[in-house]
Amino acid sequence: KLLKDKKIERVVFNEITKKAVTNGIENPRQIEPLLVDAYMARRALDYLVGFNISPILWTKLPGSKSAGRVQSVALKLLTEREHEIEIFKPDEFWTLSLNLKTYTGTQINANIFQLEGNKIEKFSFKNKDDINLAIEKIKEKKYNIKDLTSKIYSRNPSGPFTTSTLQQSASSKLGFGASRTMQIAQRLYQGIDIAGETVGLITYIRTDGTNISNEAVNVFREYIDTNYGKEYLPNEANNYSGKKAKNAQEAHEAIRPTDINKFPDDMKKYLSTDQYKLYNLIWSRALSSQMQSAKFDRKTILIESEDSKNILKASGSVIKFDGFLKLYKTGNEEENEKILPKVDKGSVNIESFIDEQHYTQPPSRYSE
């Protein structure tokens, strides 16, 4: 009744900044019937599913609050995973590596790539007897370093955060639970008091889009050029909007700082410890998404028996150019930093064997 005979329009903005809100108010849209219908359909589903199932839950599972279109699907995923874990039977397998010494006295650790002309797979050695047999076969022959290769490969930065990737990263890097992450992010989005003015530090936090507005990308690129240098700036802006999830609505931008020039350390005095940690994570991930790829030099040493039937390999990578890693570490850099010694082609002697027993693991339970 209150709205009868009044003109109703829809104002849209995706970030709490003066510019975005003013722009939204200046460019109102019509109410979109399809969006209203979609909302009504969701509400109907909630009534049909929730109102019918919830009372059953209360009687059968005391303590359960509700069921609904989301909980029902989540429960199905959990029960399916639990079933997989229950029926899982572990398989035993062994791995074998060698410590070698070159004629100049350099130590190398190598894995078996091929034995008696057969490529070594995960389950090639099923038990200790297989390992002992392999050791005997390897010992029978003399070995030489046959080939040394070096290959540069790139690792590209990840796209800026969506709601789910933010929750995952905050969990693994900061140890925050999903609800804690969202509470902190909500405050950063709604606004922080900075010198008497309420300023939203990040864009809308409920999004499955990975795109960033052109305007923001240009500011990011300027910032990288000024603060890190030309070599950290790709020739063209990195575009993540092409990597769409099948059912992504793409209604909002990815989660990014509203102003990249609000450097986390400058904001620290206005933020709580947790707010600073999360803002720093969002700021770093968003900016690093527009930086140059990291470059690694992957070296491989190929060691063969004289009849070429047994092949051993040693490999390791070293960071040549840090690129986006200067700003945002992904967590698996350490394993790449296995530096191989400098060696020349020539004979090698076997010093020792390292065998390890393993068992396959069931699928793990889901985290939040």
**Residues marked as catalytic:** 204
- Would you say 117 and 309 are in contact if contact means Cβ atoms under 8 Å apart? yes
DSSP letter for 94, please.
E
Closest CA to 210 of 245, 257, 178: 245
Residue 129, classed as helix, strand or coil, is helix
Q: What is the CA radius of gyration of the chain?
A: 28
Cα torsion 23, 196, 176, 330: sign:
positive
Pairwise CA distance, residues 190 & 209, whole Å: 20
**Which pair of structure tokens corresponds to residue 337?**
């930093």
Count other Cβ atoms within 10 Å, centred on residue 56. Answer: 11
Residue 123, classed as helix, strand or coil, is coil
- Would you say 145 and 102 are in contact if contact means Cβ atoms under 8 Å apart? yes
Pairwise CA distance, residues 170 & 184, whole Å: 11
Pairwise CA distance, residues 342 & 94, whole Å: 29
Closest CA to 69 of 89, 37, 85, 47: 47
- Would you say 364 and 87 are in contact if contact means Cβ atoms under 8 Å apart? no
Vertex 339 angle, CA 338 and 345, to 5° = 125
